[in-house]
Amino acid sequence: MFDLRNKTSIITGAGSGIGKAIAILFAKQQSEVHIIDVDDNAQQVVDEINGAGGQSYFEKCDVSNQADVRSTVASIAARMRIDILVNNAGVAHVGTVETTSEPDFDRLFSVNVKGMYNFMHEVVPLMKVSGGVVLNLASVAASVGIPDRFAYSMTKAAVIGMTLSVAKDYLQYNIRCNCISPARVHTPFVDGYLQKNFPGQEREMFDKLSKTQPIGRMGKPEEVANLALFLCSDEAAFITGCDYLIDGGFVRLNN
């Protein structure tokens, strides 16, 4: 089960965190993985995968730049069929509608929304030939009000809307499109956020944030990767147009 043998995957933002976990797991399941990231450090993920017997490649690309995305996708497609696209690249922001500047708003929209559009715009036409799977990373911030996350919540709600639209428009081409909405997941971003905003109080604030989720802890990148694997595998062939919460009960059980 969950075998991705003979399937090629593109995973954006796979240089760290959730994207890295997805790339490692997909490679373990025999997919050829193309790691998309703007940071050269993503090469370390490629080295880790290939060193363990997997097959992966680093494609440096700015997801917000359509010309860059078009060139990257064309280069991959010239060599093999693209079966899976995981739109994971994203940036975060803390602020209300009053404290969010126009440059910050534009930056989040360019990466979190336009970045996903750019890759779907280039990959979906290729998938029309033989089908494929698109998986987008949304967030619980799209479904509930989270303090000081105005722009971030806006972009993640847009992700769900794009997911439903693509799922509907490409049913006849055997293209499935779903999204995942994680709650807080312990990634390097969380550690950096705590170090920057709560120096000396990192452990206390980490525990506080963890307890906002009914299950009592943050998620692990590998747990999100497990769900991503299921949704991108043939075992999920009957699933499209869905947003999957992976949130430790955050949305439904917080009273």
> What CA–CA distance (Å, rounded) separates 162 from 165?
5
pLDDT of residue 189: 84
Count of beta carbons in the 10 Å neighbourhood of residue 239: 14
pLDDT of residue 149: 95
Chain centroid to Cα 126, Å, comes to 20
**Local confidence band at 196 (pLDDT 50, 70, 90 cut-offs):** confident
Q: Has 117 been annotated as catalytic?
A: no
> What CA–CA distance (Å, rounded) separates 74 from 233?
24
Three-state DSSP at 60 gives strand
Residue 255 scores a pLDDT above 80: no
pTM of the model: 0.96
**Local confidence band at 67 (pLDDT 50, 70, 90 cut-offs):** very high
* Mean predicted confidence (pLDDT) in 53-64: 98
User: Rounded to the nearest 10 degrees, what angle do helices 43-51 and 17-28 cross at?
Assistant: 30
Contact by Cβ (8 Å): 223, 188:
no
Choice among 152, 170, 173, 193 that is catalytic:
152
**Local confidence band at 211 (pLDDT 50, 70, 90 cut-offs):** very high
Using CB atoms within 10 A of its CB, is residue 76 exposed (0-12), middle (13-18) or buried (19+)? buried
Contact by Cβ (8 Å): 46, 70:
no
